[in-house]
Structure 1
Amino acid sequence: MTGKLSAAQLAERLPDEADDGPTQLADRYPQIDAPLRIEPPPSMKAPARNDAPSRDAHIRRSAFAPAAATIKGDVLKALGAVDDPTKFLDPRTAEGSKLRSLDRAVPDPAARGPFDTKISNFRHLAFSSRRAGRRETEAQAYFSIGVMHDNEGQFDEALRAYGQFLAVARDVDDVEKEALAYNAMGVDEMAAACPAKTTGEGFGAAALADQSVERLEKAIKLHERHLEIADAGGRFAALTNLGLCRGALGDADGAARHHQDALRLAIELESSSGQSIAVGNLGSLALRRGDLATARPCVEQHLQLARSLGDAGAEVHAHLKLGHLAAAEGDDGRALAAFEAAAAVAEQVGEIGTLKRANCYVGVARGSLTMDAMFRGLADRVRADEARWAAEAAADAPAPAPAPAPAPAAE
């Protein structure tokens, strides 16, 4: 036994079908500030994608795992030994790669053999299907290769496979598969340009290398092409991804326009999930711009929609954002209430990493409240003391000398 399947056996697993319905998102609970992937039609029988790590998973891996503490210590030690700290912002350097490794699971070398075998099987299927004129099956095999590389974080290899998938889709004039290819390639360009943050907070980076800027510009072109040919669900994903790309490149106005268009489309489609994503992205963008007046109603609406959808992870994240908003506004009492609400929901759903972080914010907010009260008390005491001292000084002062009698008038 070689472990390989014949082309006929693989073809049975990838049957052809004409219509699989409207575009669906790949994630059941899509996150705000994160690229949106399109779900392939069921007829393609593509390998299952690894679920995107939740924010709680990001936090647990990067902040509270023993391995994370060790690696962070090494990185901080190394940071003091380099002349150019920006090396840590570039994923191509050893320092940048080490920082990003905090958020990745350690690969299992023993699993590489089966992975390589599956890739080889799909390549064999693509080659034999092309020779037999089964272009649909060829396309499906290329897409499957792309998904498998995505699951391993091998975005360049995945992009090559999706490029082959796109070429076949164009050859057979399959607009649905062409749209799927543009989405998959655009999201991979985004993932390669801005690796997931170890904090789980938002898409983008504080500083972008030239290569990252080029990748984001490629992603914009791919998502624009997707927008042109997609159905309504696909257009929503394309608009959201375009907004994230523009925002990462510093074009806040362009990003806002795309997210507003996505919100209008979600309202037309009567999609609560889409509205939650779009309004949440608008709130995050406004918060990053320092536009607190716009950010608050957006985040509050996102919170209400997340509750109605039963999306506890989004609910926790919205409470945290409201807490940070209140802190930025100087309202420590409101911030404390929001952080306590986030901690309560996180505890209910077992998000331990998020619970620990929320409790840290609760402590900071309580400290701020206590400090404010202490300083107000000190100020009141100083004013009272100053008034008392003034009164005492007035009481101890000698009485003023009587005014001299007027001189007698001359006769």
Structure 2
Amino acid sequence: MSKFNQSEKSERSRSIPQKTRTYVPKYPSRTLAEDNMSGHLTNRGPTFPHELTKPQRIELPVYFNTPRRVIPPRPSSPSSKQTLNTSMQNTVDLEKKTTITKRLKDYSMLAFACKRAGKTRDEGRAYYSMGVLYDNMNNYQKAISSYEKFLTVCQSIGDSHGEALAYNCIGVNYNHLAELESSNSDLWQESINYHTKHKEIADVPGKFLAHINLGLIYSRLGDNERAAINHQFALRYAIQMSSVAGQSVAIGNLGQIGYQKLNGDNEKLKMFAERYLTLSHELKNRKGESGAYQQLGNISLSLGDFDTSTKNFYRALKIAEEIQDKDMIESARCNFGVANANLKMDEHMKNILGQINQYK
């Protein structure tokens, strides 16, 4: 190439805007989970879980390159005698278990190497990844140990968002352990402690999650007053975030889980159930719609309005059959039968009274 051509190429390259001068880091530079907090629980994405009575987790965005979390099946009975290891063996097949075990070794070596090299943030990410993998095997105790190491790393570098993530993970895992050993009150208390720590340092979306989780635990323990208070706080934060999905979860829990606390205040219960029905319809959450109709049916039944309760239970049953949810079908069918029987009995009694009045 001639000197002229080289000079011409050099001039051209200087005239072209250099887009690569703006440095964009591969990972957020300030905190480990910072980007996850903005917009994760708003109504802009489909990732928010709609299932009630289930502990809620913070999930990291895909670009953090951490393992994908597998949602485990919940224990069929809190009083189940199965051990944690037996449950794990029944849930995770051998091939998947072998793959996870290999990845755990890789992350363990990565954490060790990062610690020696002084790459503290990457060390913490490796511990978090190990926690997720142990969760996927339902080995919650070992997952807690990994999350505790992740927590220590976050505290050492002043990463408050990572610290909040760790508190959430540990709190949810103690919840799962407590469901497997429901008589162990220490496990429930540990879960409460970590969700409370999460609530204290979290931003608005984090506080929403922490209050939801605390409300679920207190409801499970029969403390309906504290459960209702926490779900009301969660509702406030959901409204503050303009999160339709968040409002749906909070209101659904207030109506369903806080039912005993609000029992007797039928107007308030009806308001919660109708609002939950509206939000579930907006979100196309058919399971939520069925649950809302069941709540409305229960309220009408308690008021002696057997006609309305029968119609609501029938709607709940049809939606449950549409989505093929066996538990909801069974519940709705049973409630429909009770309401319909009361309706027929009520009509029968009215006919008898009408005939008696004719003879007077």
TM-score range, shorter chain: 0.7 to 0.9
Query: Is residue 336 from structure 1 mapped to residue 310 from structure 2 by the alignment?
Result: yes
Structure-2 residue corresponding to 1:138: 123
Aligned AA (1:266): A
CA distance in 1, matches of 2:228, 2:114: 45
TM-superposed deviation, 1:242: 1.8
TM-superposed deviation, 1:377: 3.5
Q: 1:109 to 1:22 in 2, by over 3 A?
A: closer
Cα RMSD (Å) of the superposition? 3.1
Select between 125-134 and 343-352 the one with higher mean Cα deviation.
Answer: 343-352
- Which residue of 26, 48, 59 maps to 1:39? 59
Identity of aligned residues (%): 31
Aligned AA (1:251): D
Structure-2 residue corresponding to 1:22: 37
For the Cα contact (< 8 Å) 1:287–1:325, is it kept in 2? no
- Which residue of 46, 49, 52 maps to 2:69? 49
Query: Is residue 255 from structure 1 mapped to residue 275 from structure 2 by the alignment?
Result: no
TM-superposed deviation, 1:20: 2.2
For the Cα contact (< 8 Å) 1:36–1:240, is it kept in 2? yes
Question: Helix, strand or coil: the match of 2:50?
Answer: coil
Structure-2 residue corresponding to 1:215: 187
Query: Is residue 109 from structure 1 mapped to residue 67 from structure 2 by the alignment?
Result: no
Q: How does 1:272-311 map to 2 (within 5 A)?
A: 272-289=244-261, 290-293=263-266, 294-311=268-285
CA distance in 1, matches of 2:171, 2:228: 19
Tell me, which stretches of 5 or more residues in structure 2 are unaligned? 1-25
Structure-1 residue corresponding to 2:154: 169
Tell me, which stretches of 5 or more residues in structure 1 are unaligned? 1-14, 63-87, 196-204, 389-411
Aligned residues: 323
CA distance in 2, matches of 1:317, 1:52: 22
Listed one character per residue, the Cα deviations across residues 297-348 of structure 1 (whole Å, up to 9, x for unaligned) are: 1111111111112222211221122222322333222221112212333344
CA distance in 2, matches of 1:21, 1:384: 70
Q: 1:106 to 1:221 in 2, by over 3 A?
A: closer
Q: 1:43 to 1:111 in 2, by over 3 A?
A: closer
For the Cα contact (< 8 Å) 2:296–2:312, is it kept in 1? yes
CA distance in 1, matches of 2:220, 2:96: 35
CA distance in 2, matches of 1:349, 1:302: 18
For the Cα contact (< 8 Å) 1:27–1:51, is it kept in 2? no
CA distance in 2, matches of 1:192, 1:230: 24
Query: Is residue 242 from structure 1 mapped to residue 214 from structure 2 by the alignment?
Result: yes
Aligned AA (1:192): L
Query: Is residue 364 from structure 1 mapped to residue 338 from structure 2 by the alignment?
Result: yes
- Which residue of 196, 200, 212 maps to 1:228? 200
For the Cα contact (< 8 Å) 2:219–2:258, is it kept in 1? no
For the Cα contact (< 8 Å) 1:16–1:136, is it kept in 2? no
For the Cα contact (< 8 Å) 2:252–2:272, is it kept in 1? yes
Listed one character per residue, the Cα deviations across residues 190-221 of structure 1 (whole Å, up to 9, x for unaligned) are: 122125xxxxxxxxx9xx51x2x212221222
Per the normalisation by structure 2, the TM-score is 0.79
Per the normalisation by structure 1, the TM-score is 0.70
Aligned AA (2:37): P
Aligned AA (1:20): D
Aligned AA (1:337): K
Q: 1:356 to 1:369 in 2, by over 3 A?
A: same
CA distance in 2, matches of 1:354, 1:253: 26
Question: Helix, strand or coil: the match of 1:273?
Answer: helix
Structure-1 residue corresponding to 2:174: 189
For the Cα contact (< 8 Å) 2:218–2:224, is it kept in 1? yes
Q: 1:350 to 1:286 in 2, by over 3 A?
A: closer
CA distance in 1, matches of 2:133, 2:344: 53
For the Cα contact (< 8 Å) 1:122–1:144, is it kept in 2? yes
CA distance in 1, matches of 2:102, 2:222: 43
Structure-1 residue corresponding to 2:141: 156
For the Cα contact (< 8 Å) 1:299–1:318, is it kept in 2? yes
Structure-2 residue corresponding to 1:118: 103
TM-superposed deviation, 1:17: 2.8
Q: 1:292 to 1:109 in 2, by over 3 A?
A: farther
Listed one character per residue, the Cα deviations across residues 67-116 of structure 1 (whole Å, up to 9, x for unaligned) are: xxxxxxxxxxxxxxxxxxxxx8644x45xx69x97xx9644234322221
Query: Is residue 377 from structure 1 mapped to residue 351 from structure 2 by the alignment?
Result: yes
For the Cα contact (< 8 Å) 1:166–1:177, is it kept in 2? yes
Runs (4+) of structure 1 exceeding 6 A deviation are: none
CA distance in 2, matches of 1:152, 1:324: 39
Aligned AA (1:114): T
Aligned AA (1:184): C
CA distance in 1, matches of 2:244, 2:141: 34
TM-superposed deviation, 1:21: 4.9
